A and B are shown apart, each in its own frame.
Chain A
Amino acid sequence: MGATIVEKIFSSRCRKPVSAGDVVMAPIDRAMIHDITGPLAIEKFREMGGTKVFNPEKIVTLFDHQIPADSIRAAENQVMMRKFAAEQEIFHYDLFEGVCHQVMMEEGMAEPGELVVGADSHTCMYGATGAFATGIGSTDMGFVLKYGALYFRIPDSIRLEVEGRFPYRVGPKDLILSIVGDVGADGATYEALEFTGPTIEAMDMAGRMTCCNMAIEMGAKTGIVPPDATSWEYLQERKEVKPFDLASDPNAHYAEFRHYEVDSLDPQVAMPHNVDNVVPVGDIEGTAIDQVFIGSCTNGRYEDMAAAAEVLGGDAFSRNVRVIVIPASRREYLKTLRAGVIERFVEAGALVEAPCCGPCMGGAFGLLAPGEVSLSTSNRNFRGRQGSAGAEVYLCSPQTAAASAMYGIIIDPREV
């Protein structure tokens, strides 16, 4: 029997053949903590008797969730983490670079075949380069900081094959929303999702990140795209790496196969309050909205901003909607700025904020009042996620967000 890409990564990390179901204590190639989960992880590291982290070069610390500090407590947590990074000689990104997952990707912190953990559930995004990356809690992270290893049950894989060309103003976010709707919020629990097929092969890194990012919304341990020319090129722009072959064997064992076609895919929207509550945009057209958020680790890249701007054209956003635009990182911000896209958003009436998580998690700013409705390009619409438990959050693509922001109602971007 052949091996899946996930089994191959664990086998290479463990230097012995292992397969799905095996439990291993595997060495970690990179670990990331941020301002929300970091303080607890550091506390646990210390409670475990940790004094020196296993390898400061393999640890990334940064702030993105509540920046600049929005409360004295947040500021105190950040002071504590800064001190920790300094004392451990960890290169600390602080609040200058952007949303953790985007920064990890653009700094080349997740290479094909590597085993990467982050104290954040959307760490699964780094599978876009062919790394095995997964989110863990703070106590697990404390253990990783100390030992540089963690126990894993090697997951089974579900193979998703995607075919076809995206129609006009339909893209990766619509695809992944339709997949989440199909698989369900717990349809892939404890499993890895392997994205394959011509549509994925033709997809740029931004799109692959959007897809892998939302693997966790199906309960998956990770999403992964086997590395190809696109991913190697992306990495080579960032660091010196030599491409090698890494893919599942044709006779590998999969828990499940699923097939998707995108040729006639409609723009998709996840309705409150579950990410798998997905319908084509046409079903809910006309729903009035109070706030639109274009950003997050799911859709805060240049490609997303450009797609939103293309829909916007020379028009303005509705005066009845608060449009908050946040590029996911400093680099993406600059790229978007230099392309004139930021200027266009500001002209159109948007609030453009510096790179951070923003309203995505309802921690810092942009919170919703009871009864308010938000349309967001982020990845979660749980009750209370963006503020009041009495508010509603819909999730969509950057194109649908831009079109809806122009009219103040949820609308199909192809009609604009």
Chain B
Amino acid sequence: MKVWKFGNDVDTDAIIPGRFLTINDPDELAEHAFEGVRPEFASGVQKGDVVVAGRNFGCGSSREHAPLALLGAGVHIVIARSFARIFYRNAINTGLLPLVCGEADEIEDGNGIEVDTAKGVARSGEKEYVLEPVPSFLQEIVRAGGLVEYAKNLKELPLCTGLE
């Protein structure tokens, strides 16, 4: 499990460029993940690797192809100082876990990393990093493994009653 480190404002065009959006299959999308900005990613990424970034990860377009490309590449966790709103929701919905970490900037590229989601910590380069929990109203969806599974098990639509 290794760290693929990125900077601030990683936009969804960087994660998966517009010309590949006719592809809907995660594995095929993964072949083009970060193609323009980090060409070695697609061939080097291993199952279980973690993407780590600075502020505003996933800004820009609403394309769900972005979290799908990461999932197809075997990345199931993204740790960032903060996330753009639509990407964050898309990630939760598709089963990619977006975790906020105030010290994400300190995590180094290429280092090994272990994420303990139950304890809410990540260990990398001899240090332990605290991860913020996903907001409670989204946890049910995370537990279900995404919005599709959540919806399948929905007995009744909790219209305007709030999810908490």
A136-B62 in contact (CB<8A): yes
- Is A71 on the interface with B (CB-CB < 8 A)? yes
Q: With the chains together, A23 CA to B163 CA distance in Å?
A: 7
B112 at interface by CB-CB < 8 Å: no
Q: Of B21-29, B41-49, B113-121, B125-133, which stretch is located at the interface?
A: B21-29
Given contacts A143-B151, A151-B137, A274-B9, contact A73 B62 (CB under 8 A): no
Q: Does chain A have a CB within 8 A of B51?
A: no
How far apart are the CA atoms of A42 and B159 in the complex, in Å?
A: 22
A-B contacts, 30 of them at CB < 8 A, read A23-B163, A23-B164, A24-B162, A36-B21, A40-B64, A40-B65, A47-B148, A48-B152, A65-B21, A66-B22, A123-B62, A136-B86, A136-B89, A137-B62, A137-B86, A137-B94, A139-B148, A140-B89, A140-B93, A143-B151, A186-B55, A186-B56, A367-B19, A383-B11, A383-B14, A383-B36, A383-B37, A384-B17, A384-B36, A384-B37
The answer to whether residues A149 and B62 also contact, given A186-B82, A189-B85, A190-B85 and a CB cut-off of 8 A, is no
* B146 is an interface residue with CB less than 8 A from chain A: yes
CB pair A120–B62 under 8 Å, yes or no, is yes
Q: Contact between B163 and A385 (Cβ–Cβ < 8 Å)? A: no
A389 CA to B13 CA, complexed, in Å: 10
Q: A153-B137, A385-B18 are in contact. Are A37 and B63 (CB under 8 A)?
A: yes
20 A-B pairs besides A120-B62, A362-B13 with CB distance below 8 A are: A25-B159, A25-B161, A25-B163, A36-B63, A73-B22, A121-B60, A136-B62, A143-B147, A147-B157, A219-B85, A221-B85, A367-B19, A382-B14, A383-B11, A383-B36, A383-B37, A384-B13, A384-B36, A385-B13, A389-B36
Q: Which residues of B contact A318 (CB under 8 A)?
A: none
Partner of A25, one of B61, B90, B160: B160
Residues of B within 8 A of A (CB-CB), count = 47
Given the complex of chains A and B, what is the CA–CA distance between A401 and B163 in angstroms? 47
Which chain A residues (105-154) contact chain B, with CB distance < 8 Å?
A: 119-121, 123, 135-140, 142-143, 146-147, 149, 151, 153
A121: contacting residue among B14, B22, B36, B86, CB under 8 A: B86
Asked if A26 is at the interface (CB within 8 A of a chain B CB), the reply is yes
| A363 vs B16: C-alpha distance when bound (angstroms) | 11
- Is the C-beta of A27 less than 8 angstroms from some C-beta in chain B? yes
Q: Does any Cβ of B come within 8 Å of A361's Cβ? A: yes
A contacts with B, residue count (CB < 8 A): 60
Tell whether A16 is near chain B: CB-to-CB under 8 Å.
Answer: yes
* Chain A residues with CB below 8 A from B18, complex form: 361-363, 385
Do B9 and A185 touch (CB < 8 A)?
A: yes
Q: How far is the CB of B29 from chain A (nearest CB, A)?
A: 11
Q: Are B19 and A39 in contact (CB under 8 A)?
A: no
Min CB–CB distance B27 → chain A (angstroms): 15
Contact B56 A185 (CB under 8 A): yes
Instruction: Indicate whether B97 reaches chain A with its CB closer than 8 angstroms.
Output: no
Would you give the 0/1 interface string for B75-93, flagging 1 where the beta carbon is closer than 8 Å to chain A?
A: 0000000101110011001
Which residues A61-119 have CB closer than 8 A to chain B? Answer: 65-66, 71, 73-74, 77, 119
Highest count of chain A CB atoms <10 Å: which of B61, B85, B148, B158: B85
Asked whether A27 lies within 8 Å of B159 as measured between CB atoms, the reply is yes
B59 at the interface (CB under 8 A from A): yes
Q: Are B151 and A388 in contact (CB under 8 A)?
A: no
- Contact residues in B for A242 (Cβ distance below 8 Å): none
A367 to B17, CA, bound (A): 12
Cα of A268 to Cα of B85 in the assembled complex, Å = 26
A147 (CB) vs chain B CBs: closest residue:
B157
CB-CB under 8 A from A153, the residues of chain B are 135, 137
Which of A39, A121, A388 makes the CB contact (< 8 A) with B62?
Answer: A121
Most A C-beta atoms less than 10 A away, residue of B19, B56, B82, B163: B19
**A40 and B160 contact, Cβ closer than 8 Å, known pairs A382-B60, A384-B36:** no
Please tell me if A314 contacts chain B, counting CB pairs below 8 Å: no
